[in-house]
Every structure is written in C-alpha cells, then in structure tokens.
Structure 1
Amino acid sequence: MTARPARLTALLAAGLLAALTACSSAAVGPDPSPTASSDAQAPELRLGYFANLTHAVALVGVDDGTYQESLGDTQLTTQIFNAGPAAVEALFGGAIDATFIGPNPAINAFAQSDGDAVRIVSGATSGGAQLVVRDGIDSPDDLVGTTLATPQLGNTQDVALRAWLADQGLETSLTGGASDVTIAPQENSQTLDLLKAGELDGAWLPEPWASRLVVDAGAHVLLDEKELWPDGDFVTTHLIVSTEYLSTYPGTVKKLLEAQLATSEWIAANPDEAKTRSNAVIEELSGKPLSPQVLDRAWSNLRITLDPVATSLQTSADHAVAAGTSKETDLRGIYDLTLLNEVLAEHGQEPVADGGLGASGT
C-alpha cells in the first residue's frame, strides 16, 4: 500500500484531535446535535478536472496520491477536460460523478436540470483570467472587426468576454452572424497557434493560457478580469458533485473534501514546489511543460482557496443571461457547503458562506 502523504496524515490527526475535543466537551454539556451526514462510501469516484493551473488543487493532489489515500477503499478514476461544458455533458451522461469546473458551466448545469442535477460543494481557485491581445489593440474601440477566442461557447471566460464587450457597447453573436467582434470558441492550444500565425487577434483565457499567449506569442494584457471584481476576488474554479452521488455517498464526498483541504494547505505552505509539481503534471497530461516565465507569471495570478467566493456567482449568472448563453434561473440551492464546513470545523477553521444561495441560505 502506498504510504499516506505527510500532509494528509497531519490533517487527519488534527481532525481526530478536534473530534476528541468535541466529544470531551459534550460529556459535560448538552448533547451534540445529530450529524446531517452519513458515512456512506462509494465503490468508485470518477473525478473530472482540467490541465490548467486554475485546477492546481486537483493536479497536485491526484498526482501525489493524496486524493486516493483519503478516499481509502473508494477507487478514484479521473478524466481531463478542456472546458466546463464538456465536463457538464460528461456528468449529465453519467461518465463522471464530480468535477472541478468554472462558475458558468455549473450555473448552466443547475439551470438545465431545474436545480436537480448538481451542487457546488467547495471552491478551488480565485483569479487567473485575462483578455490578452495582439499589438495594435490598446482600447476597447480597437476591437471592432477583430476575432477573439475563448475555450468553449458558454464557458466561464466565454461569458465574461461577451458580458464585458456588451458593457463596452460592442455586439457579439452566438451564431456567427453580423457583430462588432467575432468570438471563436476553440481549444486553447489552437488559440495559441493561431495567434502566433497572425490569424487571431486575442483571447480571454484562464491560466496558464493567458500567460502562454503573452510570453510565447507576444500578446499583451488588455484587461485582467480581477479589475472587474470587488477586491479582485472572484471564483474561477469550484468543485461540483452530482446531486444523486452527493445524497447517496456523502461519506465519500467528505473524504474528497478532506483531500482537497490537505492539498490546499500544502500548496499554501509550499508554493514553489506546488508550482513545479503542477507543471510536471501539465507536461504529463499535455505533452509539454510550461516555460519558467509562463509558470511564474501564471502562478502569481492565482489564489488557491476552498472558499467558493459565492458572492460572485450571481453576477456570473447575470452575465450569462445577458450574453444569451443561459436562461434566467433562481440559484438558491446551488450550493451545499454542509460537508465542507464540517471538514473545516473539524480542523479548527472558520466556515465559508454560500452567499444566500444554499439550501440554508447562510
């Protein structure tokens, strides 16, 4: 059996100590409230994520065995996606049980299923998305007649770009019709090649792709998305789970969250090593590592956090409605942070809030 990663061992020990302390306190005080979760364990957890630095908590934790060690007898299998809509399609099709994903595909999944299919159970990353463009484009007015890329129609960056262009008075089309700016959703690697060849004018991309276009293709930043958000804080990646899986196997989901916490804490304590390990996994998954310049630039734009930054989700949803990529939806119930807050409490950490969009409205 593979040795348990040291950070997971430490985290489990801390949780045990917290649990013992709670039991000791309960012996001389009122009876504790019954737990809302069960220990039901699944035989398998099928997890999706991307080969992007914005998914570093999965890149690192899956690769070094932290996730599998935490899951115990539950077999972990993984699938890599390019963008959120494809991950949602896989979840709806029963190919995966949970996935790290951006906010807008999660919103779409919730809307398409009338609030039944998915729940956001944790955050993962804040920040790390930029609009980068070729030389000669220095203002929104310069974008008229250009073609800009995004990872996929309806994904988080696609929606953000369409909403921002609309705020600048520039029209876009979902169907390729007449517009001020043409948006071409495509694979991120294709975007890099086309910009290098002079056949594309720019793109709104997550890291490390925004940095790759800057460093490897000579693009420059027209807009850093953090400039659009209070304190520069917005959700880039969070973890969603199928509602059926969550209700059937809450014990497995809790172990997944324990592994995520352990990995997040290790990344915070070891940022340089975490950056290097993430790059090694990206090389394994994509066939090519990031250059040191790209890696350093991209990593500095991210914040790894289990807080889902729920206050930014409604704004993302409003942007999607305005862009025409999603219908207006009541998002109450999209979050279920119960298990995450249990894990945080067991390790002496403050709870995170759902911005009024959870079942409890906290």
Structure 2
Amino acid sequence: MKNIIRTTTAITTLGLVAAMMAGCASAAADPGTGESAAPVDELRLGYFANVTHAPALVGLEEGLFQDALGDVDVTTQVFNAGPAAIEALSAGAIDATYIGPNPSINTFIQSGGESARIVAGAATGGAALVVREGIDSPDDLAGTTLASPQLGNTQDVALRKWLADEGFETDTSGGGDVQVTPTENAQTLTLFQQGELDGAWLPEPWVSRLILDAGAHVLQDEADLWDDGAFPTTVLLVRKEFLDEHPDVVADLLKGHEAAVQWIADNPDQAPAVINGAIEKETGKPLDDAVIERALEHVTFSVDPHADTFETLVQNGIEAGTQKEGSIEGLFDLRLLNKQLEAEGEDTVSASGLGED
C-alpha cells in the first residue's frame, strides 16, 4: 500500500533514529562491484506525484521497477517536497527517492557526506515563476506574496536566488521586500485562485495548472537562467548505507529507472495518459489533457544528473540562506549507472569531479 507523507517527524526523533542506524551499520560492499553484503527482500522508494517525477510514475505503472528487481518488492511513499523526503531517508524509512538537487545537496553537506549518494539523473527543466495578471516585470513584485513548495526545496532556492538577483530581500521567516511562503502545491493553486497569493515558483504540472486553470502567466522560466536551458529538476538519491550494503539491488533499481526513462522517450503518445493515471491515483483527480500535454513539453527526461551544475546550486542555496556551506565532493556515485550504460553501448555520464563515475 502506498502511504502519502503529509506531516514531518520531530527532528530530534529522526536524529536519534539516524544515529542508531549509523551505529548498527554493517560492513559495506563496494557499490562498484554490484555484490551485496546480505540479501534484502524490499526496496522502499520515495517520489512525488509531479510530472518532473515521471520516471518514477512510469516505472511503477508499467511494472518496470518490479521487472528489474525480481524478488525484491518495491514499496512506495509519496511526498510533496524534498525536505520531507530527506527526513524519511535520513531516518531509514525509505531507501531511495526521486528528489530535487538542493535537498540532496543539503543532506550530503549536513551529514558530512555520510547520508546519501546521487546515482542517476531523472529530469531537467519544468520549473518556472508564474504570477497573476498585473505583474509584468520583476519591478512589479515589490510587496507581493509568492509561494514555493517547501522551505529549502529546489524551487524555493531558485525563487529566493532569483529575487536576490533582481534586488529584493527575503528571509526564511517570510519577511523582506517580497514575502516567500512555502506552501503545498495543491494549496498554492487554491490560494492563487482565491487571490491570496500573487504567484509561485513551481515544478510541473503545477506551472501548467496555474496557467491553464487559474489564469497565471510565466514571469520567469527557470530554463532561461541556465546554459542551453539544462538544469536538473529531479535526481535519484539512495541512502548511502543501503547503497554500500546492497549495490546489486541499486543496480536493478537503476535498470528499472533507465527503462522508465526510455519508455517515456519511446512512447510519446501513451506517456501522458500513463503519467496522468499515476497522478490521479495519488491525488484523486487527473489533470486536464491540456495541462499534462503542456507540462510534458517543458520537461526532459534523462539519466544524466548534470553534475556540472551542482556547484552553482550549492552557491544558490547559500545565498538563499537555506543551506550551510560545505563540500559536495563525493555526492555522486555513478559507477553502477555507467557500468550499465557501457554494457548497452550508450554514452556514460560524468560526476564532474564530484564523486565516482
């Protein structure tokens, strides 16, 4: 049964659980070998009911994860934003999660590199600042209230950094020239429709929902802020202890993940319905056809995590005031993925000096 995480556990409790897990960790296998230290019969996977997490949605709906994992059962938990997923990962409640890059960076730095590793990319693009009628330039944002999915998540950092570049001050308590209010995506839509919010920096399909269902328009597409429009929106993050102890299971997860990315590329006519069906299961309501089609036009799915962008993402988080300074050397472990890509005759992907590849 899929359980939707709606609340977070006390930080002190999570810290205690994480400490207990670290104390009980057994001898680790080398992830590059694909050999596990001990058998496991379950992989607990987190994801969001977002278009930017389509490889997770397709992998589950089409049975691609289960096909790849064989006798290892896939159980799932659904999250609204990255920080909540990180809390579950850190507490050992899940083994892997689809997630944005900034929460991945945060947990790595805060744990001194002991918490998790990015093992693959999943999606690029598909995030933007959308606003109400009457806001036509950044200058019009003074005194407005904008939403992001959660404090410290990838879109929250992007919004705060962009506002700073435009000359606005913000703070994590909601003060400043522009008030940034972290809000669940579904609630953001409702509040925007009610006139309680002036805009939001969101991932797809929420960008398209605010545009088509609520009359918003794009003020800043995040793709326009990056070279070639390529910026990571979603990566596949695995708890380090699980990766160390069960590299063969992670290798099979990656096979399912790559199969899902390829399925989306190979089935452009079927993908919207499959993705929409998965979203309906988790949210209780499907997206309009126009929404899902527009959303998919703005997202690219790839196993490349675009590691070359992560140093910039670190600096953005520091400037946004949502993360500590620290090294991300070692954040990536792409050995299992690249071994798989080499066996298939595909181009390998780079950790850009930030880990193993």
With normalisation by structure 1, the TM-score equals: 0.88
The one-letter code sitting in structure 2 at the alignment partner of 1:278 is I
Q: 2:229 aligns with which of 223, 227, 232?
A: 232
2:196 aligned counterpart, secondary structure: coil
Amino acid in the other structure paired with 1:319: N
Which stretches in structure 1 are left out of the alignment for 5+ residues?
1-33
**2:91 is matched with which residue: 93, 100, 104?**
93
Kindly indicate whether residue 78 of structure 2 is the aligned counterpart of residue 106 of structure 1: no
Aligned residue among 249, 267, 272 for 1:270: 267
Q: Sequence identity of aligned pairs in percent?
A: 56
Contact kept in structure 1, 2:58 and 2:275, CA below 8 Å:
yes
**Post-superposition offset of 1:36:** 3.3
Q: Please state if 1:244 is matched with 2:241.
A: yes
Counterpart of 1:78 in structure 2 is 76
CA distance in 1, matches of 2:216, 2:167: 24
Give the superposition deviation at 1:126. 0.4
Partner of 2:165: 167
Q: How does 1:13-162 map to 2 (within 5 A)?
A: 36-40=32-36, 41-162=39-160
SS in 2 for 1:333: coil
What is the CA deviation profile of residues 38-86 of structure 1, one whole-angstrom value per residue up to 9, with x for unaligned ones? 3324221000000000000000111221101111111110000000000
Provide the rounded CA distance (Å) in 1 between the counterparts of 2:86 and 2:296: 26
Match of 2:292 in 1: 295
| Alpha-carbon separation, structure 1, partners of 2:189 and 2:32 | 48
Q: Are 2:119 and 2:334, in contact at CA under 8 Å, matched by a contact in 1? A: yes
1:337 pairs with one of 321, 334, 338: 334
> Counterpart amino acid of 1:138?
D
Offset, 1:292:
1.1
Q: CA deviation at 1:35?
A: 9.5
Structure 2 residue aligned with 1:25? none
2:131, 2:200 within 8 Å by CA — same for their partners in 1? yes
* Residues 154-163 or 307-316, more deviating: 307-316
Distance in 1 (alpha carbons) for counterparts of 2:70 and 2:89: 23
CA radius of gyration, larger in: 1
Contact 2:31 2:243 in 1 (8 A): no
**Correspondence for 1:222:** 219
Distance (whole Å) between structure 1 residues aligned to residue 273 and residue 332 of structure 2: 32
Q: Which residue of 2 aligns with 1:4?
A: none
CA distance in 2, matches of 1:120, 1:189: 28
What's the secondary structure of 2:332's corresponding residue?
Answer: coil
CA distance in structure 2 between the aligned counterparts of 1:194 and 1:96, rounded to whole angstroms: 32
For structure 2, list consecutive stretches of 5 or more residues without a partner in the other structure.
Answer: 1-29
Secondary structure, aligned partner of 2:333:
coil
Runs of 4+ in 1 over 6 A off after TM superposition: none
Corresponding residue for residue 323 of structure 1: 320
* SS of structure 2 residue aligned to 1:211: helix
Post-superposition shift, 1:329?
1.3
Per-residue deviation, residues 251-279 of structure 1 (Å, max 9, x unmatched) = 00000001111111111011121121000
- What is the match of residue 4 of structure 2? none
Select the residue among 248, 257, 260 that pairs with 1:260: 257
**Contact preservation (8 Å) 2:34, 2:251:** no
Show the counterpart of 2:308. Answer: 311
Q: What one-letter code is carried by the residue in structure 1 that aligns with 2:140?
A: D
Supply the distance in 1 between the matched residues of 2:289 and 2:34 (Cα, whole angstroms). Answer: 45
Conserved? CA contact 2:32–2:247, under 8 Å: no
Deviation sequence 1:88-147 (CA, Å, 0-9, x none) = 000011110000000000001101101111000000000000100000001111000000
**8 A contact 2:31–2:247 mirrored in 1:** no
Q: Which amino acid aligns with 1:56?
A: A
State the alpha-carbon separation in 1 of the partners of residues 78 and 33 from structure 2.
29
- Quote the Cα distance in structure 2 between the aligned partners of 1:38 and 1:264: 22
Q: Distance in 1 between matches of 2:130 and 2:32?
A: 46
Q: Work out the CA distance in 2 between the residues paired with 1:214 and 1:269.
A: 28
